[in-house]
Structure 1
Amino acid sequence: MLVNNNTQAMSTVQQIKRPDMDPANAAASTLYSGALQAVQQSVTVPTAQKDLDKATGRIDEAFAKTRVQLQTTASSVDTPATNAASGTRSEFTDYMSKTPAERIREQLLKEQGLTEAAVQNMSQQQQDAISKQVAERLKQQQEQQVAAKTTDPQAQAVKETLAAI
């Protein structure tokens, strides 16, 4: 019986048995993948570029149509609607520029069905009573804010973060 103790010959035989290590398969695989990539690039890149150009053209067309529609709508807008929108904006700006005490006073007078002119015509005692009610509500509001901050600091931190966003 013949026994080959040459480990180098054994490893060569084992390498040839593996198809991924066969030099002929490796060369064929390289040629095939290179040819496949060349074919894919020559076919898909121009097609993809054409599709991209078409999509870009459609987007530009949609923006142009929207722009024209907005311009025609803006030129045909009735002035009462514009005045109403600017009036609402000015009311909001006026409200936001008021102090919390002024807001509370306005709310209190609205609840009681009073106007500033009516309050001015009241006696000094009645005006002081309204001022005390405003002060009490302002104090309650401040206490609620302090209580909310001290009872749950994590929830307050989350609220402040969300408000900042």
Structure 2
Amino acid sequence: MLVNNNTQAVSTVQQIKRPDMDPANAAASALYSGALQAAQQSVTVPAAQKELDKATDRIDEAFAKTRVQLQTSASASDVPATGATSGARADFTDYMSKTPAERIREQLLKEQGLTEADVQNMSQEKQDAISKQVAERLKQQQEQQVAAKTAEPQAQSVKETLAAI
């Protein structure tokens, strides 16, 4: 025998009874509505879901704080920098303004422990040898870039094939 001590459910069950129903349908309707209401009341968000929602809220809050900090630091960086950061920025700007050949030449001279002044004091044959080394490295770099670009479509087709599987 089912006993429902919940007075709210009982009152709802009683409201659903209609005088035009036969007793069997009325009893079935009362049981169904009582069970339905009990099921609706017992369905709550599990504690794990609540904790997950809290964690998601904390993550969203952290991202928002980081975004605000980045925006404020970006607006602060629009102002000319001073000290070490301006030196680093100037070095970076100088490096990026150089052509690939100039970058390679600088790297080659650094590897050999030479400066531009040392190169200027060398004989013409040694200067030409350094220029040839720079040209060879530049050619190798360009070949590597071309090889990477031609290999990229092949890698893409492999990825597509694997994705299709």
TM-score, length of structure 2 as denominator length: 0.47
Larger Rg: 1
TM-score, length of structure 1 as denominator length: 0.47
